[in-house]
Amino acid sequence: MPDKKDIIILAIESSCDDTGASIIYNGKIQSNIVASQQVHEQYGGVVPELASRAHQQHILPVVDTALKEANVHGSQLNAIAFTQGPGLLGSLMVGSSFAKSMALGLGIPIIGINHLDAHVLAHFIDADDVHFPFLCLLVSGGHTQIVKVTSPQNIEVLGKTRDDAAGEAFDKTSKMLGLPYPGGPILDKLAQEGDPHKFKFPDSRVDALDFSFSGLKTAVKYFIRDASEDNPNFVEQNLNDICASIQHTIVSYLMRKLIKAVKETGINEIAIAGGVSANSLLRSAVKAKATELGWQVHIPALEYCTDNAAMIAQAAHFQYLANNFVGQDAVPYARLGK
């Protein structure tokens, strides 16, 4: 039986195309359920309308399974958390409406979570070796940022992308190569058999700690067009090397900015987060730099890189302790000021 002082929170994630629910019990994740949506594959990207519909279908069974797996009954919950933004508005509305209705029925408070903060705070899942302040390279399908984390409530953006996100750079160049959506993980796999120095793609030149990926996208587009004019089978014949070269360009760029941030802040406790932190080259590059420069690094387990509700639950636990709740009038935001 839970003690009166126990903190049990249900967290719901529905910002894009994954419906997730997780239970956190006194700061420890008890369940982490994700239902992914295959319906988007045939369209080569997430179709917002279809995503909302699929969330509607998945949310009840996903929440039910998260509760059952954690052996928790709804009546034991102290609060319900949901991803408030950023994300696809229709998708966010499914999660937020569900969370609000359930909390209203149970007479418990609700917690609105910033999806990006949650990616960063995922490092605290099952870990007691993360210290403030740390830097986090947050690389996902929608965002690319370097943030300085001073506390769970104090996450400062030091640099961000001016156009595409790193995940988009992976996905859009993969699409040009005829790979299915989402291309990032597939390109990663194909790159493992390729030569990263075979083809050269240009670097984006933006100041400070900001990023830009649109130049790479254009360069890959014209590279494929020109090479295919001479040899229509060029992409097919060089697929592994092209993938390895694109991946090398993106990861080297991310690493250069990260090293710059370390130099500028003097902080050498480093984390990576978001879907692209699942990338094998980025993971090994960060580990190698850590050894070379004496960084203390935090690389999330693969299940906590891409969208999941456990990270929302972890962030919610911190907000609960800080008494940060939202009202029943809280609405989701497609963009959340970051």
- Residues 66-125 within binding reach of ligand KG4 (CB under 6 A): none
> Minimum Å distance from CB 280 to ligand KG4?
6
Q: Which one of 20, 167, 194, 332 is in contact with ligand KG4 (CB under 6 A)?
A: 167
Looking at the Cβ atoms of 183 and 332, the one nearer to ligand KG4 is 183
Contacts of 219 (CB under 8 A, 6+ apart): 201, 202
Looking at the Cβ atoms of 9 and 118, the one nearer to ligand KG4 is 118
269 near Zn ion, rule: CB under 5 A: no
Q: Which one of 34, 261, 278, 285 is in contact with ligand KG4 (CB under 6 A)?
A: 278
What is the number of alpha carbons within 13 Å of residue 57 lying toward its C-beta? 12
> Minimum Å distance from CB 185 to ligand KG4?
4
16 near ligand KG4, rule: CB under 6 A: yes
Which tokens go with 240?
């592994």
117 near Zn ion, rule: CB under 5 A: no
> Distance of CA 46 to CAs 5, 16, 34, 283, 332, Å?
42, 8, 17, 26, 19
Which tokens go with 226?
């020109």
Looking at the Cβ atoms of 46 and 106, the one nearer to ligand KG4 is 46
- Residues 284-313 within binding reach of Zn ion (CB under 5 A): 307
Q: Say which residue the tokens 């494929």 belong to.
A: 224
Q: Which one of 91, 140, 279, 319 is in contact with Zn ion (CB under 5 A)?
A: 140
Range list of H helices, the chain: 48-69, 89-106, 115-121, 166-176, 183-191, 214-230, 234-265, 280-293, 310-321
Burial (CB < 10 A; 0-12, 13-18, 19+), residue 118, is buried
> Distance of CA 251 to CAs 65, 143, 207, 258, 278, Å?
37, 15, 18, 10, 12
Which tokens go with 3?
């003690």
269 binds, among ligand KG4, Zn ion, none (CB under 5 to 8 A by kind): none
Q: Determine the interface stretch with ligand KG4 among 43-51, 121-129, 140-148, 210-218 (rule: CB under 6 A).
A: 140-148
Q: What residue ranges bind Zn ion (CB under 5 A)?
A: 140, 307
Q: What residue ranges bind ligand KG4 (CB under 6 A)?
A: 16, 140-142, 167, 170-171, 182-185, 188, 274-276, 278-279, 306-307
